[in-house]
Chain A
Amino acid sequence: MLLPAESLTRPPRGIPFVLAGFLIAACSLWFPGAGFAASAVEGAPALSPRNASYRIQATLNPAEKELLGREVIVWRNIQQEATGEFWIHLYWNAWRNNHSTWMREDRLRGRSDRKDDLKPADWSYMEVDSIRLLTAGEEPDQGPGPGEELLGASRFVSPDDGNPEDRTVLVVSLPREVQPGETIRVEITWHARVPRTFARTGYRGEYYFMAQWFPKVGVFEAEGWNCHQFHAATEFFSDYGVYDVKLTLPAGFTVGATGTEQGSPTRVGEMVTHHFRQADVHDFAWVASPTAQVLEADFTSRELPDVAMRLILEPEHAAQAERYFAATRAALHFYGTWYGPYPYDHITIVDPAYGSGAGGMEYPTLFTGGTRLWNPVGGDSPESVTVHEAGHQFWYALVGNNEFEDAWLDEGLNTYSTLRTLDAAYGDRLLVRRYLQPPGSGRRQSGFFPMVFPGVKVDRWLDRVNRYRRSATSDNPSTPTYLYHPGSAGDITYSKTALWLATLERTLGWETMQPIMATYFQRFRFGHPAPDDFMAVAREVSGRDLDWFFDQVYRDDVSFDYAVDSVASFPVTLEGYGEGENGPVLIPEDDAGEEDPDDPSTVYRTEVVVRRLGGGVFPVDLLMVFEDDSTAHDSWDGAARWKLFVEERPAKLAYAVVDPEHKLMLDLNITNNSLLREPSDRLPAIKWSSKWMIWMQDLLWNFAFFS
């Protein structure tokens, strides 16, 4: 369905608009029936605990950039302890002002979304107007009932950094404790100002991407409430449930959301209400675009369930629609085959509008890709971001680890899976340089005009090594992610994890790695696993003690670097005294022999010294290649600081390579992994310096322009 831009009708402003929104809400009978049992809602067996379900009615006023909402959270205490509190995330307060924790951390990482371009109207807030604990049988939106108003019993807390000016976590004191197994219903009404995009959330022009847009309950764990403040470098954590959401906004928008639309949108005047529902998810996001078109395609497979794909595409990217679908198919196929099937029968792909800042983000059953007007085939865009975000349906949406504390469990596992998928589905990635930087983009946006360099292949894994290298020792991965330095968190979370998983794969073999990943996936689907859970599965499935590995790559920040330090080959001849019948016999100088390269009987002793330059220890192999093309293989536990390898044979060494199969993907310096006995000729250097020289010569003429 294509809604032309001119069909967008601006809604009335101010109070009449608000009233219109609530009138629609009231008319829509949005809480029919008292029951809110998830299975009753969905009519299907529950896949998840469904202990945090939402019914939400929200109205967007684009003219005022305002969102009005009312929700009922049906929350069940699934722990063994009672709680007298109810913790709520108010994420949009992260952009309330520049004193919030998110903004402070964003400055620290030096890449505020729009540090030089923030205008007063760009800030946002999320204000709770009412919190009521509904009593049994009480219907919401029926006016004040016996339910208690709890807003007065609420307070903002900052459990992570004590920042008194952060308002992203609200704690509500309940009038009585919620016992284990007990369910409560909490009705919250709120109003919020939509931010101009921060963290993929907000608007640009008339384009809206709405994430973290409703008051959201934290996760009650055995240790208490887990409800972190919003941090610049981390994402989210929440329980599974059923989301039943009605969104009212002016006509003229194409709307996409988590879940599937229930029937046709209903229109009252200029306002249209869309009803979406999804069970067994832990978040809900939506998009509204005045220009987007909707395309549909299917994922079908003999081994996996069919999935209907819905692409919400900006018209200028029409030529890339099939690339989005193909990349999503690749993710569903490979992840599904390797780990387990995608359990929903639909997925929504959002192609974000240019400059909306919404690209590359995952939400249950919906994700945002991201592309450019021109994106040459072979450059991994939009394929990489599409596979990655589609892959998050497995690592994040289905296996719902705590992203505040252990972001590597989803981002790292997913990056590893993304790279494997891209390698399998697309082969080589080519170097693309984009020219003409868009205005105001700094380095956050690459240029408009792409040029492919067909002869230059970019190894996706080594590209990750380059990212990891710059932050290799910046943080210990076992540190809670929200305590990572915001500037380097991504390098550890995404790249280091992907690299150590690849190292594990190359050590154990895919035939062991795949069952590890699949077992972990299937065991913790719709659950909240912790790092130890993954490691326990790895130990269990591989049947090997891997603590020595995890101790280094996860519980420490050591770096790895093995190098061939020296190589030498010389004839095996004895000089000095030999053993005679009557004791030492001086060997005549003539017999000591000079090297005779033509003498096939000459035996050479080759000595290779391998060093461990990094702090990390890893067993490595050594390959020695001789001038007669023969080879020798050896191995080393890698523990000592250096080791001498000796080989005697009738040929000199040509070169030696430590870790020749490049199993240790965390090795920060691959160049020193090999050492030639004789230095190579200058051709490679001259070749590339001659190319650079042409660039330099042209540069000189560019300077001469001004003379």
Chain B
Amino acid sequence: MRTILDACGDGLTTTARAGKLMAGLLLLNFIVALPAAWALGSSLHDSLKTSRAGEGLRQGFDMGWYGEYQAAATGLEKTFRPTVMGAGAFLDNHEAWASGELWRGFAGLVAVGVLFALTWTFLLGGVLDRFIHPERPFSPARYFASCGRYAFRFYRLAALSIPFYYLVYKFFDWAYGKVDSLTRDVTSESTLIIYSLGAVALTVFLLHLVQISFSYAKIAIVREERSSVVKAAWRGFRFVVAHPWPVLGLALGLGAVSLALLGVYSWLAPGPAQAGWVTVTLAFLAGQVYLGAKVFMKIWLLASQLSLYRQFTPAGNGERLSPEASGQEPLTAP
């Protein structure tokens, strides 16, 4: 427990110092989403601008108009639904992520999502390098140089992870099918919920297991200047297996904080009632604050994982540390 708390504390300190990084990530996220939102907004405006239905959407939502809009919707428009407001947006996405529906959505959005993921992968090298070497003065040139230095290895690592994620989703399909057959004669919904949640929980666990393993692999690549992504992936997996409780404890602990944040946002999230520019802006900002909190948690987890990795891989543990690594860790032979 002490190890986990130490890692969390280190990670929190590191994340708190990474204000510019956070702002940059939020800005990137905002910029990538903006064109699609603009396109959707134009479509909505075209549908509403000359009709009294616009007044209904100004005051709240108009399901009658929505039915007509959806009947003629194509592409991006199909993804618009009233449940994107408030916590519904996040629950929608969580459900799609856990079930794999995320990848079966509108192809245009999937493409943008993949592009964003690739961009994040590119930036991650710089983030980790920055976290590993906080003593170095920050400059954009140095940051992007670090990004470029690890990008290709991270992309190869991402490619390596694809079959594992694919298998997890295949497992989910199989497990859900199995639940269906096992509960074929069950007449209690609560029983079915328990079975279904079991399948979902296992899937979510496996998704995180893969993600965490590859996250530690990235840490190993940056910290130890590993060039082989296969060996790095193996290293990440071995680390998780060797230290299951701290690794899981850290993930679960921060996961619980994330859930608590979602709970708070669900409670506070604005509904559909904003009718003026000020309230609309405030509602939007509330969403951005929550997104910021989510990104903070993501970075916090990463920084904490790095701290944990450091705790368990001190010098002389067979690790080949970067020559640029801090002096407290002597270089040892592989």
Contact = CB atoms under 8 A, between A and B. Distances in A.
Interface of A: 117, 204-207, 291, 314, 316, 353-356, 372-373, 431, 433, 435-440, 447-448, 451, 453-459, 462-463, 465-466, 469-470, 655, 657, 668-676, 679-680, 682-707
A700 B40 contact: no
B229 interface: no
B114 interface: yes
Interface string B75-114: 0000110111111111111111101001000000110111
Interface stretch (B8-16, B231-239, B291-299): B291-299
A686 B41 contact: yes
B36 A696 contact: yes
Interface string B30-54: 1011101110111011011111111
B316 interface: no
A673 B176 CA distance: 46
B210 to A, nearest CB: 9
A470 B72 CA distance: 11
- State the 5 A-B residue pairs at the shortest beta-carbon distance, nearest first: A440-B180, A689-B41, A703-B113, A466-B67, A462-B64
B44 A696 contact: no
B192 to A, nearest CB: 6
Given A205-B186, A456-B272, 20 more contacts: A205-B185, A373-B193, A431-B83, A440-B179, A459-B63, A655-B52, A671-B47, A676-B49, A683-B280, A684-B54, A685-B54, A685-B57, A686-B280, A688-B41, A691-B89, A693-B37, A694-B290, A696-B37, A698-B291, A707-B124
B221 interface: no
B19 interface: no
A448 B196 contact: yes
B48 A680 contact: yes
Nearest to A429: B63
A356 B186 CA distance: 9
Given A439-B196, A694-B89, A670 B42 contact: no
Contact of B117 (A355, A440, A706): A706
A670 B52 CA distance: 10
Contact of B91 (A204, A435, A438, A679): A435
Given A439-B196, A700-B29, A456 B116 contact: no
A678 to B, nearest CB: 9
Interface residues of B, number: 106
Contacts of B121: 707
B280 A354 contact: no
A316 B189 contact: yes
Given A454-B271, A455-B60, A692 B84 contact: yes
A386 B200 CA distance: 32
A465 B50 contact: no
Contacts of A676: 49-52, 54
A431 B154 CA distance: 43
B187 A433 contact: no
5 contacts: A671-B51, A690-B287, A699-B113, A700-B33, A703-B116
B61 interface: yes
B144 interface: no
Interface string B268-287: 00011110110010011001
B120 A456 contact: no
Contacts of B52: 655, 657, 673-674, 676
A687 B40 contact: no
A354 B187 contact: yes
Contact of B51 (A457, A674, A683): A674
A287 to B, nearest CB: 12
Contacts of A673: 51-52
Contact of B102 (A671, A684, A703): A703
A57 to B, nearest CB: 27
A453 B88 contact: yes
B65 interface: yes
Contacts of A695: 84, 89, 92-93
B177 A692 contact: no
Given A456-B63, A670-B65, A675-B51, A702 B112 contact: no
Nearest to A689: B41
B247 interface: no
Contact of B80 (A355, A688, A704): A688
Contacts of A431: 61, 63, 82-83
B157 to A, nearest CB: 9
B37 A455 contact: no
Q: Which of A373, A668, A686, A690 has the most chain B CB atoms inside 10 A of its CB? A: A690
B300 to A, nearest CB: 14
B186 A706 contact: no
Interface in B99-153: 99, 102, 109-110, 112-114, 116-118, 120-121, 124
A707 B125 CA distance: 12
Contact of B187 (A207, A372, A456, A672): A207
A682 B158 contact: no
B196 A436 contact: yes
B177 to A, nearest CB: 7
